[in-house]
């Protein structure tokens, strides 16, 4: 029986969303929280993008140090041999990759405009897999962009070629959120049966069905005899109407009718981290959680009407499917309402010592405090808002990693026009 794994793509799909982004330190914190939660893989960024290189390298070092373990850190690139080479040049420690190329008639005509045939698509993808293997990739997922608008025969051919050349997983991308739970179940089951490869479900929420489609697709993969890897993002943040929300997807896998019997997680998930990652994601993206967000919204466990309040007081199961404590909720939110000292890009050592002292962090000497403060200032330049406690603690604990994360060096670029 196949199992369900989670591949979170916040640090790739989430950050490429219009108007939204994360600093490299915020992306690192997301990777740390995902790892603590038990998520299988974080799609941690873009290894062909120059300003990502130090961040990606620093996170690979955290993996080597055991801080980001056992989570896989996967880079996302276009499925071309050229991009694979650039990725390994910029991030030599890279281990896991997803290679993406469009497969639908719409995209082949509309994007490539006659420059590529379907055979070219297959050949380009195969060349990319072979380049990735020869450069040392440990696992490779191959993404069919716009798979939901691609005819099944070509998807089968594409995924079969990918498998024959050593791909570990096939990513079925419902790039436009076009599927519904019935169509994605049938298509993914047919793919699993015909190709016999593990299948990733990458679903968008344009029609409000990203989570439902992910669950239906996962069932299709498992009923077809394969493992399913659901792509999620923190708070569902992603292109346009977003992706399958991490917490809602986990709740659907674990708590929906009939789930948990036949369809199980392949790796235990610590749901009690849900509250922390959702709150951090909301703060870091600067996007408030909707009041009715599943599990983590302000109203997810609030009851006002007489019948509901009476019922839930007698037995919470009357009107709640699961307990708030399972998600790590329940601690009072302590908000400073009087004097507050925040970290900032122009902060000084006395305020900084005060902030760190509140977290019971002390420094060997004033040199050390100054060094950490300098890093905190740089982190504030990138975040443009006060850092959260976990970020400050991270910088104090791993100053050398933080230094790398915070390094941006456009001056290394060749002269413009040269």
The dihedral of CA 286, 78, 110, 212: what is its sign? Answer: negative
Closest separation between CB of residue 101 and Zn ion, Å? 14
Closest separation between CB of residue 177 and Zn ion, Å? 9
The alpha helices in 65-136, defined as continuous H runs, are 81-90, 105-110, 118-134
Q: How far is residue 345 CA from its own chain's centroid?
A: 28
Nearer to Zn ion, 13 or 179 (CB): 13
Nearer to Zn ion, 13 or 146 (CB): 13
State which of positions 180-199 bind Zn ion (CB under 5 A): none
Closest separation between CB of residue 74 and Zn ion, Å? 14
Residue range at the interface with Zn ion (CB under 5 A); choices 10-18, 21-29, 56-64, 181-189: 10-18
263 phi and psi angles, rounded to 5 deg: -110, 105
Residue nearest to Zn ion (CB): 13
Of 48, 37, 50, nearest to 85 by C-alpha is 48
Tell me how far apart the terminal alpha carbons of the chain are, to the nearest angstrom.
Answer: 58
DSSP state of 386: P
State which of positions 76-105 bind Zn ion (CB under 5 A): none
Q: Tell me if 245 contacts Zn ion by CB under 5 A.
A: no
Residue range at the interface with Zn ion (CB under 5 A); choices 8-16, 37-45, 61-69, 121-129: 8-16
**Measured CA angle at 340 (ends 280, 386), to 5 deg:** 35
Q: Tell me if 52 contacts Zn ion by CB under 5 A.
A: no
And the tokens for 387?
Answer: 């850092």
Question: In a 3-state reduction of DSSP, which class is residue 309?
Answer: helix
Nearer to Zn ion, 99 or 369 (CB): 99
Taking the CB of residue 214, how many other CB atoms lie within 10 A of it?
31
Closest separation between CB of residue 109 and Zn ion, Å? 21
Q: Tell me if 179 contacts Zn ion by CB under 5 A.
A: no
Nearer to Zn ion, 13 or 60 (CB): 13
Residues in the interface with Zn ion (CB under 5 A) total 1
Q: Tell me if 57 contacts Zn ion by CB under 5 A.
A: no
Nearer to Zn ion, 13 or 223 (CB): 13
Residues with Cβ within 8 Å of residue 336, at least 6 apart in sequence: none
Residues with Cβ within 8 Å of residue 230, at least 6 apart in sequence: 4, 5, 6, 7, 200, 201, 214, 215, 217, 218, 244, 249, 253
Closest separation between CB of residue 204 and Zn ion, Å? 6
Cβ-contact 147, 104 below 8 angstroms = yes
Helix (H) or strand (E) holding 100: strand 96-102
Closest separation between CB of residue 239 and Zn ion, Å? 6
Nearer to Zn ion, 231 or 343 (CB): 231
Nearer to Zn ion, 13 or 245 (CB): 13
Q: Which of 13, 52, 60, 223 binds Zn ion (CB under 5 A)?
A: 13
Length of the chain: 418
Nearer to Zn ion, 16 or 183 (CB): 16
Residue range at the interface with Zn ion (CB under 5 A); choices 11-19, 205-213, 300-308, 314-322: 11-19
Binding interface with Zn ion (CB under 5 A): 13
């Amino acid at each position: 029986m196949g199992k369900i794994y989670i591949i979170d793509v916040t640090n790739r799909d989430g950050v490429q969303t219009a108007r939204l982004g994360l600093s490299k330190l915020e992306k690192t914190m997301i990777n740390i929280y995902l790892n603590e939660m038990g998520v299988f893989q974080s799609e941690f960024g873009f290894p062909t993008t120059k300003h990502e290189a130090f961040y990606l390298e620093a996170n690979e070092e955290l993996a080597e140090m055991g801080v980001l373990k056992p989570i896989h850190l996967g880079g996302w690139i276009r499925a071309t041999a050229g991009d694979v080479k650039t990725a390994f040049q910029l991030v030599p420690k890279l281990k896991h990759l997803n290679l993406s190329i469009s497969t639908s008639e719409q995209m082949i005509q509309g994007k490539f405009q006659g420059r590529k045939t379907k055979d070219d698509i297959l050949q380009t993808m195969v060349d990319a897999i072979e380049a990735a293997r020869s450069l040392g990739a440990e696992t490779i997922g191959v993404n069919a962009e716009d798979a939901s608008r691609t005819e099944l025969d070509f998807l089968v051919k594409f995924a079969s070629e990918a498998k024959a050349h050593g791909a570990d997983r096939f990513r079925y991308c419902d790039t436009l959120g076009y599927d519904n739970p019935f169509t994605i179940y049938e298509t993914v089951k047919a793919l699993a049966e015909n190709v016999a490869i593990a299948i990733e479900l990458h679903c968008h929420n344009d029609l409000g069905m990203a989570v439902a489609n992910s669950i239906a697709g996962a069932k299709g993969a498992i009923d077809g005899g394969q493992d399913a890897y659901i792509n999620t993002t923190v708070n569902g943040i992603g292109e346009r109407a977003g992706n399958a929300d991490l917490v809602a997807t986990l709740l659907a896998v674990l708590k929906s009718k009939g789930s948990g019997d036949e369809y199980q997680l392949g790796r235990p998930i610590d749901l009690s981290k849900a509250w922390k990652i959702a709150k951090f994601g909301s703060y870091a993206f600067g996007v408030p959680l909707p009041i009715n967000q599943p599990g983590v919204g302000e109203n997810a466990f609030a009851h006002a009407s007489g019948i509901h309040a009476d019922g839930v007081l007698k037995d919470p199961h009357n009107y709640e499917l699961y307990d708030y404590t399972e998600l790590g909720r329940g601690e009072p939110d302590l908000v400073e309402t009087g004097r507050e000292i925040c970290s900032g890009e122009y902060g000084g050592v006395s305020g900084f010592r005060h902030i760190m002292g509140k977290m019971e962090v002390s420094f060997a000497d004033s040199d050390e405090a100054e060094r950490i403060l300098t890093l905190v200032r740089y982190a504030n330049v990138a975040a443009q808002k006060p850092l959260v406690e976990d970020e400050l603690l991270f910088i104090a604990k791993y100053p050398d990693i933080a230094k790398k994360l915070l390094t941006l060096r456009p001056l290394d670029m060749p002269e413009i026009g040269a």
